[in-house]
Every structure is written in structure tokens, then in C-alpha cells.
């Protein structure tokens, strides 16, 4: 399905949904018919430096529909990030029929970038049929800002017209005492502050391990500089490059979701994380259990 065909299909579904619009701020519901392989819906959530979210609320079309994955990925407005970089924050997600639904994350999310994308992955072969039937979400009248996107099997993101906005809203985190997972940057418990007098010692850990569907790889750099963090399989083949760039000295963390650079899920087995940072060379054994 090319970009033009995708946009036309979305518009047709939006127009059809308008004929069965419900009361309140939700204008109608929409979806794809049928759902191609690799389809996902994404909503941009801008965040200030001190803000985090604990979940997501959305207007669901059919309570019998299952979203295989709910994902989150750091990014910038108008530039959806690659799904291969996304963190899984929910699996087999369901909601109410023609009603607002909510999903709470196991750990609040923040972003080192200006915000993040919340992504609903659709099951291939599902189809939006009508109001209350099939895979779909609500939509509302937009304010002219581009916030919503659709990704199809080609891997390209296609914007939804800014005249419309998916009825998907972040649930802001009000608990400031717990750990927050910072996407695209450093992770540290909110109450923990580094001691500037303590020397930094290189180290790397991963938890959970064994893991499914993702693991947090945490590492400490004695000095800033060029860093590369790569995942290898047991045959020594590079599977995923998680970091390739300059990082500051100190503690860092990044999530591996068990997928390769192309976004494909990897088989169960043993993998090796290799961290290279100047003279520092660290490895961590990882076990993926599907």
C-alpha cells in the first residue's frame, strides 16, 4: 500500500465514521480495513523537562479488539522515530467498546527529547467494520497541529490530517517519588543524586535477565567520549546497534526490546552486549526468552 492509497483510505474511513458520530468531544471512530502487516498508530506527546506520564487514555472502538503492543519512543514533533527504537509498555492491550479506556505503565515515562510518541500496534488482518465493530480508535476535531501518524507495512510514517486528532491522551504522572524511565537519555531514580566527589567506575548490568520482552542495559562511563553499544548473537553477528555517538561521563541506561535494527523480533537465545568507550570495553550476557 503506497502513501497516497493509505491517505485516501484513512480519509474514507474518517468520513464514514462521521456519519455515526457520538456525543461529547469524540467526533467518531476510524480504522483500516483490512489492517496491513506492520501497521501502527502514533500520537505525539510533548513533554517539559520535569514532566512524565504514567499511562495513556484512549477512546476505543471495539472491546473485542486486541492491540498486540503499546509502544513508546522518544522523538521530536513532526519526526516520528523508528519503531525499532521503541520500548514496549503494554502487550495484548484491550479497552471498552465505544468508550474511554486507560492503560497504566509499569514504570512512568519521561523523555530526554522534547517529547515522545505513544504507538498502538494493530494486528495484521484485523479490520475496522463500523462503530463498535473492529479495530479502531476515536478521533476528534484537531487544532491544526500535526500530532497523529499511521505506519504501514512499508515502514513509512504517513501523517493524519491536522484537521483531525486521534482521541489518545497521556495520563500525567503525579507521583514524583518513584523511578522514571527516561527514553532517549539517562535514567536515575528521582531521589538519587550523584556524588560529585565519588570517582566513576566503569560497569554494565542488565535487568531483567533473562528477559521478555525487553531489558534495561545500564552502564557507567568514567569519562565522556565516543561510545558504541552493540548486541551480538552467539555466532558473533551484529544484531542491533543501541548507541553510536558521544555520551557524557556518568550513569546511562538504554532499553533493548529484543528486536534487530530492522525492527524484527529475535529468537529466544543468548546474546552479548558489547560496550566500547575509549579504553573501556565491557560485555554483558543477555538471555532472551520468547
CB contact burial 166-200 (16+ within 10 A = b; e otherwise): bbbbbeebeeeeeebbbbbeebbeeeeeeeeeeee
> What per-residue confidence (pLDDT) applies to 200?
59
> What per-residue confidence (pLDDT) applies to 1?
44
Q: In order along the chain (290 residues), what is the average pLDDT of each group of 10 residues?
A: 45 39 66 84 86 92 92 81 80 93 90 87 87 89 84 76 88 76 57 47 82 89 88 88 89 90 90 87 86
Q: Residue 171 CA to chain centroid, in angstroms?
A: 15
Report in angstroms the alpha-carbon separations of 195 from 192, 199, 253: 9, 9, 18
> What per-residue confidence (pLDDT) applies to 153?
64
User: What does the alpha-carbon distance between residue 187 and residue 250 come to, in Å, rounded to a whole number?
Assistant: 11
The dihedral of CA 68, 139, 116, 191: what is its sign? negative
User: What does the alpha-carbon distance between residue 53 and residue 232 come to, in Å, rounded to a whole number?
Assistant: 32
- Is 10 in a helix, a strand, or coil? helix
C-alpha distance across the termini of the chain, in Å? 30
> What per-residue confidence (pLDDT) applies to 24?
43
State the burial class of residue 209 (Cβ atoms within 10 Å of its Cβ: 0-12, 13-18, 19+). Answer: middle
Report the alpha-carbon angle 128-129-131, nearest 5. Answer: 95
Contact 139, 14 (CB under 8 A): yes
The dihedral of CA 77, 80, 83, 84: what is its sign? negative
> What per-residue confidence (pLDDT) applies to 176?
63
> What per-residue confidence (pLDDT) applies to 240?
93
For domain 200-288, give the CATH number.
2.60.40.4070
Q: In the 8-state DSSP scheme, what is residue 103? A: E
User: What does the alpha-carbon distance between residue 86 and residue 255 come to, in Å, rounded to a whole number?
Assistant: 9
> What per-residue confidence (pLDDT) applies to 5?
45
Length of the chain (residues): 290
**CB neighbour list of residue 173: distance below 8 Å, 6 or more residues apart:** 51, 52, 53, 54, 108, 180
Q: Does residue 34 have a cis bond before it (omega within 30 degrees)?
A: yes
> What per-residue confidence (pLDDT) applies to 178?
62
User: What does the alpha-carbon distance between residue 180 and residue 190 come to, in Å, rounded to a whole number?
Assistant: 7
> What per-residue confidence (pLDDT) applies to 92?
93
For domain 3-172, give the CATH number.
2.60.120
> What per-residue confidence (pLDDT) applies to 150?
87
Contact 89, 105 (CB under 8 A): yes
Cell numbers linked to 157: 510514517
Domain boundaries, the chain: 3-172, 200-288
Amino acid at each position: 500500500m503506497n502513501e497516497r492509497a493509505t491517505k485516501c483510505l484513512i480519509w474514507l474511513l474518517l468520513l464514514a465514521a462521521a456519519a455515526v458520530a457520538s456525543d461529547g468531544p469524540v467526533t467518531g471512530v476510524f480504522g483500516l480495513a483490512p489492517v496491513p502487516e506492520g501497521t501502527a498508530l502514533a500520537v505525539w506527546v510533548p513533554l517539559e523537562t520535569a514532566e512524565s506520564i504514567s499511562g495513556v487514555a484512549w477512546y476505543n472502538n471495539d472491546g473485542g479488539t486486541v492491540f498486540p503492543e503499546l509502544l513508546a519512543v522518544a522523538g521530536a514533533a513532526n519526526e516520528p522515530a523508528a519503531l525499532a527504537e521503541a520500548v514496549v509498555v503494554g502487550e495484548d492491550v484491550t479497552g471498552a467498546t465505544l468508550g474511554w479506556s486507560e492503560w497504566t505503565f509499569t514504570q512512568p515515562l519521561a523523555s530526554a527529547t522534547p517529547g515522545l510518541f505513544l504507538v498502538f500496534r494493530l494486528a495484521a488482518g484485523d479490520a475496522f467494520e463500523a462503530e463498535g465493530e473492529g479495530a479502531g480508535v476515536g478521533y476528534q476535531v484537531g487544532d491544526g497541529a500535526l500530532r497523529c501518524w499511521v505506519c504501514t507495512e512499508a515502514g513509512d510514517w504517513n501523517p493524519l490530517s491536522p484537521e483531525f486528532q486521534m482521541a489518545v491522551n497521556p495520563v500525567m504522572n503525579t507521583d514524583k517519588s518513584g523511578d522514571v524511565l527516561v527514553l532517549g537519555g539517562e535514567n536515575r531514580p528521582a531521589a538519587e543524586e550523584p556524588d560529585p566527589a565519588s570517582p566513576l567506575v566503569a560497569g554494565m548490568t542488565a535487568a531483567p535477565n533473562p528477559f521478555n520482552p525487553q531489558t534495561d542495559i545500564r552502564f557507567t562511563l568514567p569519562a565522556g567520549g565516543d561510545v558504541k553499544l552493540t548486541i551480538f548473537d552467539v555466532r558473533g553477528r551484529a544484531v542491533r546497534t543501541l548507541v553510536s555517538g558521544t555520551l557524557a561521563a556518568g550513569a546511562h541506561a538504554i532499553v533493548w526490546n529484543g528486536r534487530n535494527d530492522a525492527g524484527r523480533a529475535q529468537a529466544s537465545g543468548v546474546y552479548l552486549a558489547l560496550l566500547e568507550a575509549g579504553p573501556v570495553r565491557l560485555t554483558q550476557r543477555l538471555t532472551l526468552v520468547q
